A and B are shown apart, each in its own frame.
Chain A
Amino acid sequence: MSDADVVIVGSGATGSLLAAHLGTSGRRVIVLESGPARRLDQLVSSTIWSRRLKWGGAPVRTEGANPVVPSFEAGWGTGGSALHHYACWFRLHPEDFEMASRYGKGLDWPLAYDELRPFYDSVQREVGLSGDAKLEVWRPRGAPYPMPPQPVFAQGEIIARGFAKLGERVAPLPMAINSVAYDGRPPCIQDGWCDAGCPTGALANPIAVYGPAMRKAGVQLINDATVTRVLTDATGRRVAGVDYVDAQGTMRTVRASVVILAAFAVQNPRILLNSGNARHPKGLANSSGLVGRYFTSHGAVNLYGLFPERTDNHMGRSGGQLVSQDHYAKDPKRGYLSGYTWRIGNALKLADLAGIANSRGDLFGAALNEFMKRAAQHLATMSALVENLPSLENRIELSADKDSHGLPLARVVHSLGEDARKCLEAATEAGRKIFTAAGATEVWAAPLRTEHLTGGTIMGSDPAKSVTDGYGQTHDVANLFIAGPGLFPTSGAVNPTFTAAALAARTAQYIAREVRT
């Protein structure tokens, strides 16, 4: 007798979606979340206290020319990283699914955009997206947004002026944030506290969106439960459950017919690599040797400008107000295969990594104080998100260092490829021109950085060249599924949460229809 039909590791954007969908379909579901329990009424509006929501589990060793920052990207507690995410919800473009076939670089997905499109449409209805599908001229085919776009404030209007002068287009940023009351959740009040976690439920975090359905369906959520390994049956061909360490430090086992790893792009491969057994000596689901490989992060650069007029940069949403994808389409004639998205007019706080003070990391003391007086009233910003092609060398592997349970930590090696670096240079130069055209008196670019965590457990049609099939089921172990952006063979140049959620909805439908428990 199993303890559950389905055990899901992680309660973030995809784990919660899967739990709600599968619970509602009648499956007995247990969710194991390594972080603590969270409630919306605990989400204090503070850049300092918001750090509780950032990754606090086993340390991650990061290396490479452009290291990733899991301690900022990942979440800690119920809702995972989606509890503090910026809610920029984009669709990948059709060509993103066919990079190898179309351009001879990168990888192909095992499914085309049109196969995922119905799930983009259903998830956007379920979650609630705001935007303007007509003005967003680059948007792939799909149902219009269920809510009108968010308002634009002075910062967005000022920067849009620069785009217009250069003949480039902008549109409202598509966001998983209510612009009007939707599905019992209130509209956003535009105060820019998204990164600290939205306690009103206007921002579609998993607690607000999927919490009620999970409770109604009787899903059992266990916090402070760190999964140490995935178990298989004696043949090694079918999943049997997981071992986890509970809040008291006791090792426990959950037996289940289906296991879904939804612990984000770094911890999913770490769990698989730590789950090796006699049948799977290289780690579970790793006959291809690709668990941890093709790990990818976007390249990103923030442009800043000081303007004579007030920018009201405290108003709006952390993710921004407007979008431009005039340079998204891939064109090998440029000398690089990459593209980028501008996210324009982010609401700013004074402190923290993305705050005003860190827009000039070289300043301190009296010079910083003088800068803060000007910037608090007159700073504007936008950021370019740049596609980085998948590389075998970018990887997650096991470190020689171990966590408090004696398990090897994850070691993450990541560098941006030449195509991405060239595209970042082009975006930076373009951004300087846009801000100058908009009337900025000072313009600068922050140091290049990485953003988002994708790949590492990629999906594909060929078991020798991928870890899972198009439904996220591992090629090697039946009923063991992966969820989240770790499945992406390529990352496009957009924030990954919407695509991760659409894939998870597709996986949930497949399990509910096809998998016996």
Chain B
Amino acid sequence: MLERPDPLLGYRFTGFTLPAREFYRASLGAIEKACARHYGASTGEISAVELERFVRKLAHAQLQPWDGPPQALVYFVLRNDAIDAAYGVPDAYASLQIPYMAHIEPPRPWWRP
């Protein structure tokens, strides 16, 4: 899903300022470093309230110090990747009672080529 020429993740829309693998490694690494600095724990260990506060700071580029790609870009790309997984699949449409109406059904799970 990451490698060119046909990567499917949201990073494709950024124009590839970095190779995709490098971007995701740098972004996720910077997030974990910032979380550890703020809460002394990883993103998987902090409470839901703390996680929401943390993501809001990321969205507003307020995590300081920050050692990664621009925070707004990281928020945009990772948020869209999460939206793809949660809402870009036929099951999400069914759960919201919206007809999916495919001409050609996508693979299930979505990442299967």
A interface residue numbers (CB < 8 A to B): 35-36, 41, 43-49, 51-52, 54, 56, 59-62, 69-72, 76, 189, 191-193, 198-200, 314, 350-353, 355-358, 361-362, 364-366, 368, 372-373, 376-377
Partner of A46, one of B6, B79, B96, B106: B106
Chain B window 5-28, contacts with chain A (Cβ cutoff 8 Å), 1 for yes, 0 for no = 111100011111100000000000
Supposing A48-B110, A71-B13, A355-B87 touch, asked if A56 and B4 sit within 8 A by C-beta, the answer is: yes
B64-104 interface (Cβ within 8 A of A): 76, 79-80, 82-84, 87-89, 92-93, 96-104
Known A350-B98, A364-B79: A45·B12 in contact at CB below 8 Å: no
Q: Select from chain B the residue with minimum beta-carbon distance to A192.
A: B101
Is there an interface contact between B87 and A372, defined as CB atoms closer than 8 Å? yes
B59: chain A residues within 8 A (beta carbon): 362, 364
Residues of B within 8 A of A189 (CB): 101, 103
Bound Cα distance A272, B32 (Å): 45
Q: Report if A76-B5 is in contact (Cβ < 8 Å); known contacts: A200-B103, A364-B55.
A: yes
Q: Are A350 and B106 in contact (CB under 8 A)?
A: no
Please give the distance in Å from A113's CB to the nearest CB on chain B.
35
B15 touches A60 (CB 8 A): yes
Within 8 A of A (CB), among B8-66: 8, 12-17, 48, 51-52, 55, 59
Tell me the smallest distance from the CB of B21 to a CB of chain A, in Å. Answer: 15
Interface contact A43-B8, CB-CB below 8 Å = no
How far is A366 from B49 in the complex, measured between Cα atoms in Å? 11
Residues in B whose Cβ lies below 8 Å from that of A191: 101-103
Known: A56-B4, A314-B98, A361-B76. A355 touches B83 (CB 8 A): yes
Q: A52-B6, A70-B15, A361-B76 are in contact. Are A193 and B87 (CB under 8 A)?
A: no
Cβ contacts under 8 Å, A48 to chain B:
8, 84, 88-89, 106, 110
Question: Hey, which chain A residues are within 8 Å of B106, CB to CB?
Answer: 44-46, 48-49
The distance in angstroms between the C-alpha atoms of A206 and B83, with both chains bound, is 31
Residue of A nearest to B96 (CB): A376
Q: A36-B6, A46-B106, A69-B15 are in contact. List 4 more A-B contacts (CB 8 A).
A: A48-B88, A70-B15, A357-B87, A361-B79
Q: Which secondary structure characterizes the binding site on chain B?
A: loop
A-B contact pairs, 21 of them (CB 8 A): A41-B104, A44-B107, A46-B88, A46-B106, A46-B110, A47-B88, A52-B6, A56-B5, A76-B6, A191-B102, A191-B103, A193-B103, A314-B101, A358-B83, A364-B82, A366-B52, A372-B87, A372-B96, A373-B96, A376-B98, A377-B97
B13-A72 in contact (CB<8A):
yes
Binding site for A on B (CB under 8 A): 4-8, 12-17, 48, 51-52, 55, 59, 76, 79-80, 82-84, 87-89, 92-93, 96-107, 110
Whether B104 contacts A56 by the Cβ 8 Å rule is no
A191 to B100, CA, bound (A): 8
Asked whether A45 lies within 8 Å of B15 as measured between CB atoms, the reply is no
Q: Are A351 and B15 in contact (CB under 8 A)?
A: no
B88 to chain A: which residues have CB within 8 Å?
46-48, 350-352
Q: How far is the CA of A60 from the CA of B15 in the complex (A)?
A: 6
Q: Bound state CA distance, A353 and B48, in angstroms?
A: 27
Nearest chain B CB to A96 CB, angstrom units: 30
Looking across the interface, which residue of chain A has its beta carbon closest to that of B14? A71
Q: What residues on B are CB-neighbors of A200 within 8 Å?
A: 103
Contacts of B99 in A (CB 8 A): 314
Q: How far in angstroms is the closest Cβ of chain A from B22? A: 13
B-side contacts of A71, CB under 8 Å? 12-16
| Chain A residue at smallest Cβ distance from B51 | A365
- Least CB distance from A91 to B in Å reads 30
Shortest CB distance B16–A (Å): 4
| Bound Cα distance A62, B15 (Å) | 8
| Chain A CB within 10 A, most for which of B7, B15, B98, B101 | B15
For B106, the closest partner residue in chain A by CB is A46
Q: Which residue of B lies closest to A56 (CB)?
A: B5
Residues of A within 8 A of B105 (CB): 44-45
* Distance (whole angstroms) from the CB of B73 to the closest CB of chain A: 12
Q: Bound complex: CA of A501 vs CA of B87, how far in Å?
A: 36
Asked whether, in the complex, the Cβ of B96 is within 8 Å of the Cβ of A350, the reply is yes
Q: Are B13 and A54 in contact (CB under 8 A)?
A: yes
**Which residue in A51, A69, A193, A199 is a CB contact (below 8 Å) of B8?**
A51
- Do residues A51 and B12 form an inter-chain contact, with CB atoms below 8 A? yes
Q: Are B98 and A45 in contact (CB under 8 A)?
A: no
Q: How far is the CA of A52 from the CA of B89 in the complex (A)?
A: 16
Closest to B78 in A: A364
Q: Is the CB of B110 within 8 A of A365?
A: no
B13-A351 in contact (CB<8A)? no
Whether the Cβ atoms of A56 and B12 lie closer than 8 Å is yes
CB proximity of A153 to chain B, nearest CB, Å: 13
* A36 CA / B4 CA spacing, docked (Å): 12
B104 touches A351 (CB 8 A): no
Q: When chains A and B are docked, how far (Å) is the Cα of A76 from the Cα of B89?
A: 23
Contact B8 A52, beta carbon cutoff 8 Å = yes
| Complex Cα gap A35–B8 (Å) | 16
